[in-house]
Amino acid sequence: TAAIAVKTAREFNVLLTANPKPQTVHYLTGAPFVQLNQSETEHAAALAGIEVVHREGEPFPDEIGEQLRKMLELENLVVTKGSKGLTIFSDNDKKEHVAPHLVEVYDVAGAGDTVISALTLALSCGATPREAGIIANRAAACVVRKVGVATVTSAEIINEWESQV
């Protein structure tokens, strides 16, 4: 089960990341890294009994992410916000916003999977959560420019940086 995976990862100091559905995020209590998009975060928070006050058209209220992270005792909760970037809520009550990397979007299918994959790879290579978030944003920018569920290569991510210089 997820709880055993979290316990084992902690015991052996192994990086554990997850991109769960809102209904199952509570199984990952104590996990090092959980990633949800903002609507999933709101849904998970509501399921956890956290009062969610968010009006359509207004910015995502960061208090929801902070409360959910604390309630689930997560080391880090990454909330992706589409064209608004992402925010990393950490267990030291630190909140870091990673600005979006704006591109023309053709299809968002697979963007969340790309974010958690790139985030995991970057963290496993020694990146800080912020650095990993920046890399994940760039990887997702490459994917959403493609039609359908797509993959991204390291060369595409590097080219994304070079094209911005």
Mark whether 107 is an active-site residue: no
Which residue is catalytic, options 62, 93, 107, 113?
Answer: 113
- 131: tokens are 């650095």
Q: What are phi and psi for residue 90, nearest 5 degrees?
A: -115, 160
- 124: tokens are 């496993």
Helix (H) or strand (E) holding 107: none
Rounded CA separation 17/54 (Å): 27
- The closest of 88, 89, 109, 86 to 99, measured between CA atoms, is 86
Active site residues: 113
